[in-house]
Amino acid sequence: MSFSKTQRILLGLGAISGVATFYHSNNNKNKAHASWTTSYEPATNAKWDENWDRRLPKYPKHTTKNLSEKQENKINEERESVKPKASRHLIMIRHGQYNLSGTSDEHRVLTKIGRVQAAYTGKRLKELGFPYTEMIKSTMTRAQETGHIISESLPNVPVKNCDLLREGAPIPPEPPLGRYRPELYQFFQDGSRIEAGFRKYFYRAQPSQENDTYTLLVCHANVIRYFVCRALQFPAEAWLRLSLNHASITWITITPSGRCILRVLGDSGHMSPDLITTT
């Protein structure tokens, strides 16, 4: 098929306009950007807070003018001395399925399926072969039982208990869920405690830490979901948009720079399908 000179010109202009699409930035309406440029600017609330744990290294201030090699080496050594070198791995395990009809915490024990789920998770953690530093358990019955069963596979891992990891209502969810409407005082009461738990366990390594650490947190779905949102600097109100199976594994790494990486969310692939439950 042949085209006239005018048709070829029009086709060429059409191709150019398709490739070189221009748009006006919302932040600068007088400036046009080509569609292939990297002129995108994240929203203010989407930018990463480097000092989220208030442990950003404070480097010694020195002038860099007219320094000898020996002086520069000393400055570099001082900087290295306050710089984290290891990562902190936080592996969170939701408790196994439990008796929902229990009228109090002591009666909300694991079901038969819940005990089997916990046993499979313990075996999975053992297979991963990480040098676990410690296991910290919520003091609620279902988390205590789950942690005890996991310890059968990891008998040499020290165990501690922590009230801050107990289940609760961390913050009013957005969007609201019709059947989940605790009283506002519950968010006020539980939210401060769960936030305290986040601040206690989520932070970058100290400069003195030479090797990576692996901490197991055996707790609850609401707590884990809130921790994930906080660590990734997502809106904390989004916690209820996440779903976690019983005895599932969630793994977050805090790098030496303070960046948080979600490596696994609610993994229960180590169980057979008939053992996977959520409620």
Q: Is 188 exposed, middle or buried (0-12, 13-18, 19+ CB in 10 A)?
A: exposed
pLDDT (tens digit, 0 to 9) for every residue of the chain, 279 residues total? 555 555 554 445 444 444 443 333 444 455 555 555 566 777 777 899 999 999 998 876 655 567 776 666 666 666 777 889 999 999 999 999 999 999 999 999 999 999 999 999 999 999 999 999 999 999 999 999 999 999 999 999 999 999 999 999 999 999 988 777 788 888 999 999 999 999 999 999 999 999 999 999 999 999 999 999 999 999 999 999 999 999 999 999 999 999 999 999 999 999 999 999 998
The DSSP H or E segment spanning 249 is strand 249-254
pLDDT of amino acid 21: 37
Nearest to 220 by CA among 205, 203, 239: 239
Q: In CATH, which of 3.40.50.1240, 1.10.760.10, 3.40.50.720, 3.60.21.10 is domain 88-275?
A: 3.40.50.1240
For 195-245, the pLDDT digits (tens) are 999 999 999 999 999 999 999 999 999 999 999 999 999 999 999 999 999
Rounded CA gap, 90 and 100, in Å? 28
pLDDT of amino acid 58: 82
Nearest to 216 by CA among 95, 133, 96: 133
pTM recorded for the entire structure: 0.82
Return the biggest CA–CA distance within the chain: 86
Residue 183 has, within 13 A of its CA and on its CB side, a CA count of 3
pLDDT of amino acid 45: 78
Rounded CA gap, 142 and 226, in Å? 19
pLDDT of amino acid 54: 95
Domain boundaries, the chain: 88-275
